[in-house]
């Protein structure tokens, strides 16, 4: 079974298990493989460029009115590096600023109050160094277009998504790692919702 198929099965299995905790339909993906796919890198990398895009038309109501606090993190020994870094989203803000090599980046894309309906839009490009692990969208929120006539609608939670996979020890360990990430994200999202409801 090839690595792309293995990784796709990991994502499908884990997302099915954690579906109840995920609210949104907005697709965020690595541009070289496209929506719903995981980019699989077969050898250790040094400052390999990854290009992350998103699809506003996949948001509820087929419109996106803005994103906030989107977080992308690495697992294993992978590190995000500033090599080739550019934050491409409209009115993009990011943390840390300036960006330095690390395990996480937080991005805020500017609000588009007319409602973005593009099939694809640029989010960021960034370097990746390491020999094993994943690049994962772990949390975030966006404003959809489910209001009357496709106007500003509801705040939705971004689905956890694996964007990139670099060599794994094997399919079972990869499955365990990915499911662990999704379980952690689900618990975090549930805790955030409880905190807001208790406020």
pLDDT digits (tens, 9 = 90+) for 150-191: 999 999 999 999 999 998 655 444 554 555 555 454 544 455
Backbone torsions φ then ψ of 24, nearest 5 degrees: -100, 165
Q: Report, as an integer, the average pLDDT of 44-50.
A: 97
Q: How many CA atoms lie within 13 Å of 81's alpha carbon, on the beta-carbon side?
A: 14
Q: How many CA atoms lie within 13 Å of 25's alpha carbon, on the beta-carbon side?
A: 13
Q: What confidence score (pLDDT) does residue 19 get? A: 39
Please measure the distance between the N-terminal and C-terminal CA atoms of the chain and give it in whole angstroms: 49
| pLDDT at residue 14 greater than cutoff 50 | no
Cβ contacts of 14 within 8 Å, gap of 6 or more: 175, 178, 179, 181, 182
Tokens for 87? 């934050």
């Amino acid at each position: 079974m090839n690595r792309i198929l293995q990784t796709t099965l990991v994502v499908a299995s884990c997302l099915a298990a954690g579906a109840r905790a995920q609210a949104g339909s907005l697709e965020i993906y690595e541009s070289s493989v496209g929506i719903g796919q995981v980019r699989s890198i077969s050898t250790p990398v040094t400052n390999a460029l990854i290009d992350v895009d998103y699809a506003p038309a996949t948001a509820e109501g087929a419109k996106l009115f803005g994103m906030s606090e989107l977080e992308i993190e690495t697992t294993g020994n992978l590190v995000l590096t500033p090599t080739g870094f550019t934050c491409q989203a409209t009115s993009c803000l990011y943390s840390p600023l300036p960006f330095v090599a690390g395990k996480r980046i937080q991005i805020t894309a500017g609000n588009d109050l007319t409602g973005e309906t593009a099939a694809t839009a640029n989010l960021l490009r960034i370097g990746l160094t390491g020999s094993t692990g994943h690049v994962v969208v772990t949390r975030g929120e966006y404003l959809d277009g489910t209001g009357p006539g496709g106007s500003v609608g509801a705040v939705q939670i971004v689905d956890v998504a694996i964007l990139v996979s670099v060599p794994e020890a094997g399919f079972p360990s990869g499955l365990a790692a990915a499911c662990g990430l999704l379980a952690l994200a689900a618990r975090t999202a549930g805790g955030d919702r409880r905190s807001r409801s208790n406020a």
